[in-house]
């Protein structure tokens, strides 16, 4: 046994995955957090890792060899942090421990951006796995093609979801500055994390720090049409850039490599598309994922894997067997008239693109969006104007007002472009949805539950209520 590591905030996607990696390495691992939700709670339980609820200092006695500190609910003044400092316990952040322990001397492929990090990182890891490259990976979710959210791997390649959220109470830089990647995917960039970033420019400054860590023999995969990312690259980029997007390739930055990835698809063919490199067809992906955003994620993954040595045709073949990620439009209940999805959408843009993808596949069916605006950005109301239009592809929307909401959701309901309802009780909402009958005939009802949390247990409750109704 290598020693005892104690993870403060072990229920987070990064911290929980780090705990799994540490256990695989042979460390004794334990930790604490508030309430821990699936899928991370299930993964930690399966690994037989001891978890304490709450942050009582008594859990740190006897003293571990190292305390790994997360950034959720652990500010200065919290009992656990003050105990660590007063007792002189050795400590580090989760992101720095990952960088120093796992990522030294490895070919790191980092996936950054506001949306699609988990899905794209899962795609890259699966492409490398399919190609026989046995990568290590750390992903902020549960990829369906793998049995865990993290593993050490048997080769130098390591895929990591690169989060822009700050590292810890003592390190306000974004986590990804600790990862020192060779290959970087920049999916997109929008304003988010209103609790720590005052504006988009503050986030761009962190992305610029990331650019400064990439070697000039590395690769940056970036969209052709993102003004926010172009501003970051123009601030300084010393690495070749491979572009992704529908626009014809042209050099807009001195580091543009001339690679332009795009896709084409037949009208109505939502489940397949042709991959193009500099307008030349490379092969066709056929899969169950919906939406234009997932096609863009696929191009990003193919470009990144190609830089690591995977032939394009092999990457395309791998994506045809890609099964997605839990809580990304995951079907949790289905009968003849109703389909219920669990989706992690955390931002108006993610809500919009997800619903648009579902609508394109089910043009005549009824789509009901059931949204808990739970993230700091959503709960603070920073993007409330975008919320009025992001559900346009649905027939109606139900907004859930949780205790953390700091503003009046009725503003959204009144201005929403589709019929909107405000609810604040999960049990009553389940009764309402289970009591509604789908339209007669062949028109199905799609219930899309969108939250980055447990949503009061609505997933299991609704599935059970619908099963009982039938």
Ordered mean pLDDT values, 10 residues apiece, the chain (470 residues): 91 89 94 84 88 92 95 88 96 96 95 94 98 95 88 95 92 95 96 87 97 97 94 96 77 88 84 94 94 93 98 98 90 92 86 90 91 70 78 94 76 88 92 82 88 86 89
Same fold, 102-319 and 330-469: no
Output the pLDDT for position 378.
62
Distance CA 439, CA 347 (A): 30
Domain 102-319 top-level CATH class: alpha beta
What pLDDT does 328 receive?
Answer: 86
List the domain boundaries for the chain.
4-93, 102-319, 330-469
* pLDDT score for 290: 85
- Please name the fold of domain 4-93: Rossmann fold (3.40.50)
Question: Are 278 and 259 in contact, with CB atoms under 8 Å apart?
Answer: yes
- Rg (C-alpha) for the chain, rounded Å, is 22
**Given this model, what pLDDT does residue 453 score?**
78
The pLDDT value recorded for residue 442 is 72
**Contact indicator for 135, 155 with CB cutoff of 8 Å:** yes
Query: For position 382, what pLDDT does the model report?
Result: 62
Query: What tokens appear for 320 in the block?
Result: 């045809």
Tell me, what's the pLDDT at 108? 98
Pairing of strands 150-151, 136-138: antiparallel
The answer as to CATH 3.90.190.20 being correct for domain 330-469 is yes
pLDDT at position 411: 81
């Amino acid at each position: 046994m290598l020693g005892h590591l104690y993870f403060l905030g072990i229920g987070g996607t990064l911290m929980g995955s780090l705990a799994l990696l540490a256990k695989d390495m042979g460390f004794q691992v334990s930790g604490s957090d508030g309430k821990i939700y699936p899928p991370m709670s299930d993964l930690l339980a399966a690994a037989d890792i001891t978890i304490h609820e709450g942050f009582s200092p008594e859990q740190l006695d006897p003293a571990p060899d190292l305390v790994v500190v997360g950034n959720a609910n652990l500010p200065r003044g919290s009992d656990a942090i003050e105990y660590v400092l007063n007792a002189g316990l050795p400590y580090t952040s989760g992101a720095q421990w990952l960088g120093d322990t796992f990522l030294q001397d490895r070919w790191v492929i980092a996936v950054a951006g506001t949306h699609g990090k988990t899905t794209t990182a899962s795609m890259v890891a699966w492409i490398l796995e399919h190609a026989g490259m046995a990568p290590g990976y750390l992903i902020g979710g549960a990829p369906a093609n793998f049995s865990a959210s993290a593993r050490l791997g048997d080769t130098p390649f390591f895929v990591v979801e690169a989060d822009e959220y700050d590292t810890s109470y003592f390190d306000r830089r974004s986590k990804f500055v600790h990862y020192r990647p060779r290959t970087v995917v920049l999916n997109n960039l929008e304003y988010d994390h209103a609790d720590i970033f005052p504006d988009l420019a503050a986030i761009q400054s962190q992305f610029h720090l990331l650019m400064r860590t990439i070697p000039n023999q590395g690769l940056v995969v970036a969209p052709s049409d993102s003004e926010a990312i172009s501003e970051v690259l123009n601030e300084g980029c010393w690495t070749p850039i491979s572009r992704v997007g529908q626009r014809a390739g042209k050099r807009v930055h001195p580091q543009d490599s001339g690679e332009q990835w795009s896709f084409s698809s037949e009208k109505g063919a939502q489940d397949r598309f042709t991959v193009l490199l500099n307008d030349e067809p490379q092969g066709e992906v056929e899969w169950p994922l919906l939406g234009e955003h997932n096609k863009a994620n696929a191009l990003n993954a193919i470009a990144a894997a190609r830089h690591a040595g995977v032939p394009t045709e092999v990457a395309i073949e791998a994506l045809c067997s890609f099964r997605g990620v839990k809580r990304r439009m995951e079907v949790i209940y289905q009968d003849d008239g109703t389909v219920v999805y669990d989706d992690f959408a955390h931002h108006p843009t993610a809500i919009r693109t997800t619903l648009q993808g579902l609508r394109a596949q089910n043009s005549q069916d009824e789509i009901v969006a059931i949204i808990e605006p739970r993230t700091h950005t959503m709960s603070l109301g920073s993007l409330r104007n975008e919320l009025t239009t992001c559900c346009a592809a649905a027939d109606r929307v139900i907004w859930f007002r949780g205790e953390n909401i700091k503003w009046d959701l009725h503003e959204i309901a009144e201005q929403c472009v589709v019929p909107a309802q405000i609810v604040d009780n999960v049990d009553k909402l389940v009764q309402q949805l289970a009591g509604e009958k789908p339209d007669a005939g062949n028109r199905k009802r799609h219930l899309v539950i969108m939250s980055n949390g447990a949503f009061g247990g609505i997933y299991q409750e609704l599935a059970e209520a619908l099963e009982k109704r039938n």
